[in-house]
C-alpha cells in the first residue's frame, strides 16, 4: 500500500497508460480522480476501482480548456480535500504527415492537449501542494521528446516541451518538497500504438508489418513495452521511494537507442 491515504489525479485516465496508472495507484491505496474527455471510459475505470473496494470519481475534462481543468481540480478538492499526485497523461497522436502538409489546426490541437494541458493541470493543482508543502507531479512524455523523427513533428514538439516544463517546474517547487518528473515511454503495446503504426504505414506506402519492424529495430530488447511497465514507474515516482528524484526524464523504452 505505497500510496495509502494519497489522492491522485490521472488525466487521460480512461484508457491505455492512464487506465493502467489509475488501477495500479488504486491497488496501492490511493483515492483516484480519473479524468478524460469521454465520460463512458473514465466512468468505467472509476467504477472498476470502486468495485474493488477503492475510492474514485470520474470527471469529464478537456485539459486544453482552463475552465474545464479548474473544474477537475475543484471536484478533487471537494471530494477528497487535497491533491497529492498529479499525473499528466492526457495526449493525442496528432497529425502524421510532413511539416509542409500539417494543417495549422492539427498542430494547434496537438500542442494544446499534450503540452498546454499539462501546464494548465499543474497550474491549478500545484497551489494545494504548495500550501501543504508536499506533492508529486508526473508528466508522461515520450522518447519522441528526446529525438526528432519524420512525420510526427507536432507530437515530437509537444513532448520535447513537456520535458522542458518538467525541468522548470522541478526548480520552482522543489523548495516545497514537491517532485516533478517525466516518464518517456518507448513504443507501448496497445490500441494507441496500433493506430500510430497504421497511420505511418499509410503515409509511407508501407505495410503495417514493415512499419512495426521499424519501431522494434531500435529497441535493445526487441519488443514493445507494456502499459503496466509505465504504471510501475509512475508508482515508484509517486511513492516515498521516489522522494529524492526530481527534474528527471526517465525512459521506459526497452533500451531505445536515441
Tell me which H or E stretch contains 181.
strand 178-185
pLDDT digits (tens, 9 = 90+) for 90-124: 999 999 999 999 999 999 999 999 999 999 999 99
Domain hosting residue 48, numbered range? 7-188+226-252
SS3 7: strand
206, part of any domain: no
Tell me how many domains the chain contains. Answer: 1
Give the distance, in angstroms, between the CA of residue 22 and the centroid of all CA atoms in the same chain. 11
Residue 257 is assigned to a structural domain of this protein? no
Range list of H helices, the chain: 16-27, 39-51, 66-80, 104-111, 117-132, 153-173, 191-204, 208-216, 227-238
Please indicate, yes or no, if residue 142 is contained in any of the structural domains.
yes
160 assigned to some structural domain = yes
Residue 30 resides in a domain: yes
Mean pLDDT of the chain: 97
Distance CA 52, CA 42 (A): 16
Mark 182-206 as b/e (b = at least 16 C-beta within 10 Å): bbbbbbbebebbeebbebbbebeee
Task: For residue 196, tell me if it sits in a domain.
Answer: no
How far is it, in rounded angstroms, from Cα 250 to Cα 258? 13
- Here the cell at position 250 is 526517465
- The answer to whether 240 and 2 have CB atoms below 8 angstroms apart is yes
In a domain, 78, yes or no: yes
Laid out side by side, the sheet with 135-140 consists of 56-60, 31-36, 7-11, 85-88, 135-140, 178-185, 249-252
User: Which CATH number is 114's domain given?
Assistant: 3.40.50.720
Give the total residue count for the chain.
258
Annotated active-site positions, please? 155
Output the tens digit of pLDDT for each of the chain's 258 residues.
999 999 999 999 999 999 999 999 999 999 999 999 999 999 999 999 999 999 999 999 999 999 999 999 999 999 999 999 999 999 999 999 999 999 999 999 999 999 999 999 999 999 999 999 999 999 999 999 999 889 999 999 999 999 999 999 999 999 999 999 999 999 999 999 999 999 999 999 999 999 999 999 999 999 999 999 999 999 999 999 999 999 999 999 999 986
In a domain, 176, yes or no: yes
Contact call for residues 15 and 41 (beta carbons, < 8 A): yes
Amino acid at each position: 500500500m505505497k500510496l495509502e491515504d494519497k489522492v491522485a489525479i490521472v488525466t487521460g485516465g480512461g484508457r491505455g497508460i492512464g487506465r493502467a496508472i489509475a488501477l495500479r495507484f488504486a491497488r496501492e491505496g490511493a483515492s483516484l480522480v480519473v479524468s478524460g474527455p469521454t465520460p463512458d471510459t473514465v466512468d468505467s475505470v472509476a467504477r472498476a476501482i470502486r468495485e474493488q473496494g477503492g475510492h474514485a470519481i470520474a470527471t469529464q475534462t478537456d485539459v486544453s480548456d482552463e475552465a474545464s481543468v479548474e473544474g477537475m481540480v475543484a471536484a478533487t478538492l471537494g471530494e477528497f480535500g487535497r491533491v497529492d499526485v498529479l499525473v499528466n497523461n492526457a495526449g493525442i497522436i496528432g497529425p502524421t504527415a510532413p511539416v509542409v502538409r500539417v494543417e495549422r489546426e492539427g498542430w494547434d490541437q496537438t500542442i494544446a492537449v499534450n503540452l498546454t494541458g499539462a501546464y494548465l493541470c499543474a497550474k491549478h493543482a500545484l497551489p494545494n501542494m504548495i500550501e501543504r508543502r508536499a506533492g508529486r507531479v508526473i508528466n508522461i512524455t515520450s522518447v519522441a521528446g528526446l529525438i526528432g523523427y519524420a512525420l510526427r513533428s507536432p507530437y515530437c514538439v509537444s513532448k520535447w516541451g513537456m520535458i522542458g516544463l518538467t525541468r522548470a517546474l522541478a526548480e520552482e517547487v522543489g523548495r516545497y518538497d514537491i517532485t516533478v518528473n517525466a516518464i518517456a515511454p518507448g513504443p507501448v503495446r496497445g490500441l494507441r500504438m496500433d493506430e500510430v503504426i497504421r497511420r505511418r504505414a499509410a503515409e509511407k506506402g508501407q505495410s503495417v508489418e514493415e512499419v512495426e519492424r521499424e519501431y522494434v529495430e531500435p529497441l535493445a530488447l526487441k519488443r514493445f513495452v507494456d502499459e503496466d511497465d509505465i504504471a510501475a514507474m509512475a508508482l515508484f515516482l509517486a511513492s516515498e521511494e521516489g522522494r529524492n528524484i526530481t527534474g528527471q526524464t526517465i525512459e521506459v523504452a526497452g533500451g531505445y537507442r536515441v
